[in-house]
Amino acid sequence: MMMTIRRTVLVVLMLSCACIGAVRAERPNIVIFLVDDMGVMDTSVPFLTDDDGTPKRYPLNDYYRTPNMERLAKQGIRFNNFYAMSVCSPTRISIMTGQNASRHQATNWINPEKNNRGPFGPTQWNWKGLKTSDVTLPRLLQGAGYRTIHVGKGHFGARAFEGAEPKNLGFDINVGGASFGAPGSYYGSQNYGLGTRRSHHAVPHLKKYHGSETFLTEALTIEAKPHVTAAVKDDAPFFLYMSHYAVHAPFNSDPRFAANYKDSGKPAPAQAFATLIEGMDKSLGDVLDHLNELGVAENTLVFFLGDNGSDAPLGHQHAVACAAPLRGKKGAHYEGGMRVPFIATWAKASGDNSNQKRLPIVADAIQIQQAAVYDLFPTILALTDLEPRKKHVVDGLRLDTLLTGEPDKKRAETFLMHYPHSPHRSDYFTCYRSGDWKVVYHYFPSKASEDSHYQLYNLAEDPFESKNLATGKPDQLRVMMRGLIASLEQTNALYPVDKTDGGAPLKPKLP
x/- map, 31-70, a copy of itself, by CB under 8 A: ----------------------------------------
Integer Cα distance of 207 and 36 in angstroms: 23
Q: Which of residues 122-161 bind a copy of itself (CB under 8 A)?
A: 124
Question: Judged by CB under 8 A, does residue 492 bind a copy of itself?
Answer: yes
What dihedral do alpha carbons 133, 101, 111, 443 form, nearest 10°?
-140
Question: Judged by CB under 8 A, does residue 258 bind a copy of itself?
Answer: no
x/- map, 451-490, a copy of itself, by CB under 8 A: ---------------------------xx-xxxxxxx-xx
- Cβ proximity to a copy of itself: between 267 and 502 the closer is 502
Of 43, 61, 434, 449, the one binding a copy of itself (CB under 8 A) is 434
Our CA angle for 244, 414, 139, nearest 5°, is 45
Between helix 67-75 and helix 268-294 the angle, nearest 10°, is 50
Q: Residues binding a copy of itself: what is the number (CB under 8 A)?
A: 35
Question: Judged by CB under 8 A, does residue 409 bind a copy of itself?
Answer: yes
Pairing label, strands 300-306, 29-35: parallel
Are the CB atoms for 224 and 151 separated by under 8 Å?
Answer: yes
Min dist CB 499 to a copy of itself, Å, is: 10
Question: Judged by CB under 8 A, does residue 395 bind a copy of itself?
Answer: yes
Neighbours of 113 (CB within 10 A): 12
Integer Cα distance of 328 and 419 in angstroms: 15
Min dist CB 308 to a copy of itself, Å, is: 22
Question: Judged by CB under 8 A, does residue 414 bind a copy of itself?
Answer: yes
**Maximum C-alpha span of the chain:** 73
- Cβ proximity to a copy of itself: between 42 and 134 the closer is 134
Of 87, 224, 240, 394, the one binding a copy of itself (CB under 8 A) is 394
Min dist CB 392 to a copy of itself, Å, is: 9
Integer Cα distance of 54 and 100 in angstroms: 31
Integer Cα distance of 229 and 294 in angstroms: 7
Question: Judged by CB under 8 A, does residue 380 bind a copy of itself?
Answer: no
Of 12, 160, 412, 460, the one binding a copy of itself (CB under 8 A) is 412
Question: Judged by CB under 8 A, does residue 399 bind a copy of itself?
Answer: no
Min dist CB 413 to a copy of itself, Å, is: 6
Question: Judged by CB under 8 A, does residue 507 bind a copy of itself?
Answer: yes
Of the candidates 433, 397, 431, 437, the residue with the CA atom closest to the CA atom of residue 417: 431
Are the CB atoms for 207 and 272 separated by under 8 Å?
Answer: no
The DSSP symbol for 362 reads P
Half-sphere exposure of 147 (CA within 13 A, CB side): 19
Integer Cα distance of 279 and 255 in angstroms: 10
Q: Which of residues 90-129 bind a copy of itself (CB under 8 A)?
A: 100, 103, 124
Could you list the residues that contact a copy of itself (CB under 8 A)? 18, 100, 103, 124, 390, 393-395, 397, 409-414, 434-435, 478-479, 481-487, 489-492, 502, 507-510
